[in-house]
Amino acid sequence: MSDQPVALVTGGGTGIGAACCRRLAAEGFRVGIHYRSSEEKAKKLEAELENAFLVKADLADSESLDALIKELKTLAGRIDVLVNNAGYNVNAPMLAMNLEQYDSVASVARGTWYLTKLVLRRFMMRSGTGRIINISSVVGHTGNAGQIPYPMVKAGLDAFTKSLAQELAGREILVNAIAPGFIDTEMTDELPEEVQAAILAKIPQGRTGTADEIADVVAFLATRGSYINGSVLHVNGGMYGG
Ligand code: NAP
């Protein structure tokens, strides 16, 4: 097994995930870029980074995650940092949303729980160390009209973070969440212009955040932050303080 630490970033081919991959590679990690559908972007990123590898899985499909773990054993042999970045959103008001849409958002949370369990069991519990960093959202705290399953899942991810940190007490496996505010990525580009303008008006810093500004905090939690555990770090330009 190589001495180089390995970081796995889910949804690493796009947006915030891609920025995390770049930043963690710069910090000396060998980076596992996980993707589901963004193969082209993930491949481009793999080619750009010096020491990275690609893995594909659908977080909504537990068998796909079982296969992913087997692949990680061969490709990496260790996982030191897990960034649970993948997320999915459907924009529709409560009465217009159907169960299938609800499940498409909620199944990513189920998959995040399951992947974390597998990574803990196969890698981190064996090495006795690790950092788990969950990317939640400010809307898990403030609520947000027009996308109810998404804030539900994100609030749950923060509760998952706190609970898992307590369950792992006494080990050097630290679990934290970062709750971004309004970050400029494809996910936010899809919001109607009037919704984007209304959100912008609520940000004291007067601008959206960048994926790199989230990746900075991920890198800090992955490599330093040794006394931060079970916390939710709000990174939102002053929109919400927790
Ligand atoms: P994004 O580019 O749309 O990223 C979402 C990622 O999740 C994609 O890479 C996608 O992979 C992956 N994904 C979605 N469903 C999946 C599934 N079933 N299985 C596996 N992977 C799946 O948007 P982003 O803004 O960078 O979002 C990254 C994270 O930050 C998300 O958790 C999001 O909720 C959170 N966040 C974003 C903002 C914001 O303002 N942008 C604010 C707060 C929180 P593929 O493309 O390969 O399918």
- 114 assigned to active site: no
Q: Which residues pair with 7 in a beta bridge?
A: 31, 81
- Which of 105, 187, 207, 232 is the pocket-test mutation for ligand 1 (most atoms within 8 Å of CB)? 187
Q: Is 170 left (phi over 0), alpha (psi -120 to 50) or beta?
A: left
pLDDT for 192 equals: 83
pLDDT for 66 equals: 98
How far is ligand 1, taken at its centre, from the CA of residue 3, in Å? 30
Ligand 1 atom nearest to 209, measured from its CA: 40
Mean pLDDT of 18-23: 98
Alpha-carbon span 32 to 130, nearest angstrom: 15
Residue 7: count of CB within 10 angstroms of its CB: 30
Mean pLDDT of 195-222: 95
Residue 189: pLDDT band (50, 70, 90) is confident
pLDDT for 188 equals: 85
- Catalytic residue, candidates 35, 150, 227, 240: 150
Question: CA angle, corner 33, sides to 53 and 119, nearest 5?
Answer: 95
CA-proximal residue: ligand 1, atom 38 (nearest): 183
pLDDT at 1 over 80: no
How far is ligand 1, taken at its centre, from the CA of residue 17, in Å? 7
3-state DSSP call for residue 55? strand
pLDDT tens-place string over residues 46-67: 999 989 999 999 999 999 999 9
Question: What is the pTM (predicted TM-score) of this model?
Answer: 0.98
pLDDT for 232 equals: 98
pLDDT for 2 equals: 84
